[in-house]
Amino acid sequence: MIAKAFRIILPMPMLWLVFLTHCDKPAEADLVFIAAADWRYTATEEYHSPEYFLGALNAIAEVGKGSFMISPGDVEPLSASEELIAQVLGADYPWYPVIGNHELESPDYLDYLRSVNAGGTTLPNIVRAGPPGSLETTYSFDWGACHFVVLNQYFDGESDTGTDGDVVPELLDWLERDLSENTKGLIFVFGHEPLIAIPDMHNGRLRHQGDSLDKYMKNWHRFHQLLLKHDVTVYICGHTHNTSVAKINGLWQIDVGHARGTEDLFPALLYSRLVEAVETGQRLGKREDEIIAEFFRPRMYGVKKTLYYSELTNGISYKQLADQPGLEALMTFYSTIQQDPEVLDQYCQRYWDNWNLTRSTFVRMRIKREQVTAEIYRNNARGGPYTLTHTQIIN
């Protein structure tokens, strides 16, 4: 109406000046960042194939990597993960790792994690280092109109490896100070463990119920109330390998699931990898049993798990299956399918009847003014391509 009125009485150049002065300015560019975790990167050769974490990175590059990635835990070994991220997403692409329970398993993982943010200052845009004892592994940073907080939930008030997943009073006090001094309008808080484990959004699988942050309900309640008090936009976590978006007593929680590509060597993938290894080894003059043993050693956990759920032998768990019987079972698996390829279908059917894999996932967060949107990309749980499966406006 303003432009129309001026059009009657003003020359055209002056009309455009008035119009541009009074209309809304173009919207600022979106802030986009990626949240992905629990890929448990390994050094085995096939992990460099698209069926695994590399496939998630390739998909992130295709849909748009945004300004940075935050990974809420279990991304060890960090050096190898950092190298692969740099290879696919660029050497200057910022990556903010969060400590998870599996980072506690090796001094090397912890040393590298501390070195990534040496002194609590070396990652981009850091505004507050963590409390004494968790100086490098707890921190906050600002990006545009947003404030980001990374929590070490294994900090016990003195050591950065002292608990089994908790938000202790010393960490809560640090968080209170950080959020009280924040001036940004949107706040994102990250930790490895969920407030409450929620079933996976596609297959309903539930893990870590009762032994996540809800194991310590007094601290849980104070943490939850603190996030609500400071109008935290969303709490983002991992740990369960299940992807979910839920509002928990007024607080949004996004569990980003896992970005491993496929969680396990399901029978068809196990067999194809084994055939590939045998053919390669035989070209080098190795015996078949020698090749299978070399294949088994670095993968024994995944192999025993796969064979157990494919056969359910002897009523024992895969964790109780000794190494030598595990190798013998793998040799039987290979020779049986070599003699009758149709048997592979029976292995696969028993596996899917008895085990539930969740889809590999990454979450692309889009912020435009005050609207926050979570775009959830998932594959088919068997290393296939990623597609946008769910969009959630966080309000």
pLDDT for 12 beyond 50: no
Question: 200: phi > 0 → left, psi -120 to 50 → alpha, else beta; which?
Answer: beta
Lookup: tokens for 322? 């000794």
Q: List the single range of 254-268, 284-298, 314-328, 337-351 with lowest mean pLDDT.
A: 314-328
Alpha-carbon gap, residue 71 to 304, rounded angstroms: 28
Q: What does the pLDDT read at residue 22?
A: 34
Q: List the single range of 2-6, 32-36, 45-49, 364-368 with lowest mean pLDDT.
A: 2-6
Which single residue is written with the structure tokens 């399901």?
A: 266
Q: What does the pLDDT read at residue 8?
A: 34
Please state the rounded mean pLDDT for residues 119-130: 96
Q: What does the pLDDT read at residue 42?
A: 63
Q: Are 200 and 257 in contact (CB under 8 A)?
A: yes
Q: Which tens digits make up the pLDDT trace of 331-386? A: 999 999 999 999 999 999 999 999 999 999 999 999 998 899 999 999 999 999 99
Q: Which tens digits make up the pLDDT trace of 195-248? A: 999 999 999 999 999 999 999 999 999 999 999 999 999 999 999 999 999 999
pTM for the predicted model, two decimal places? 0.88
Which of 38, 63, 73, 34 has the alpha carbon at shortest distance from 52?
Answer: 38
Lookup: tokens for 63? 């849909």
**Percent of the chain surpassing pLDDT 90:** 81
pLDDT for 393 beyond 90: yes
pLDDT for 19 beyond 70: no
| Residue 16: pLDDT band with limits 50, 70, 90 | very low
Give the residue with greater pLDDT, 1 vs 392.
Answer: 392
Which single residue is written with the structure tokens 């003195």?
A: 158
Alpha-carbon gap, residue 136 to 139, rounded angstroms: 7
Q: Where are the domains of the chain?
A: 31-262+357-394, 277-354
Q: For the chain, what is the total number of helices (H) and then of strands (E)?
A: 12, 13
Compute the mean pLDDT over every residue in the chain, rounded to the nearest whole number. 90
pLDDT for 17 beyond 50: no
Q: What does the pLDDT read at residue 13?
A: 38
Please state the rounded mean pLDDT for residues 156-170: 96
Alpha-carbon gap, residue 243 to 250, rounded angstroms: 19
Q: What does the pLDDT read at residue 395?
A: 86
Q: Are 150 and 190 in contact (CB under 8 A)?
A: yes
Torsion angles phi and psi, residue 174, rounded to 5: -60, -45
Question: 373: phi > 0 → left, psi -120 to 50 → alpha, else beta; which?
Answer: beta
Which of 86, 42, 33 has the alpha carbon at shortest distance from 262?
Answer: 42
Q: What does the pLDDT read at residue 321?
A: 84
Q: What does the pLDDT read at residue 175?
A: 98
Q: What does the pLDDT read at residue 43?
A: 56
Domain 31-262+357-394 CATH class label: alpha beta
pLDDT for 7 beyond 60: no
pLDDT for 121 beyond 90: yes
Q: Which tens digits make up the pLDDT trace of 282-310? A: 999 999 999 999 999 988 988 999 999 99
Q: How many angstroms from the chain centroid is the CA of residue 204?
A: 18
Cβ neighbours of residue 122 closer than 8 Å, sequence gap 6 or more: 116
- Beta strand 234-237 with 243-248: parallel, antiparallel or unpaired? unpaired
Which of 305, 281, 284, 308 has the alpha carbon at shortest distance from 292?
Answer: 281
Q: How many angstroms from the chain centroid is the CA of residue 319?
A: 25
Q: What does the pLDDT read at residue 3?
A: 38
Q: Which helix (H) or strand (E) holds 219?
A: helix 217-229
**Percent of the chain surpassing pLDDT 70:** 91
- Beta strand 186-190 with 234-237: parallel, antiparallel or unpaired? parallel
| Residue 41: pLDDT band with limits 50, 70, 90 | low
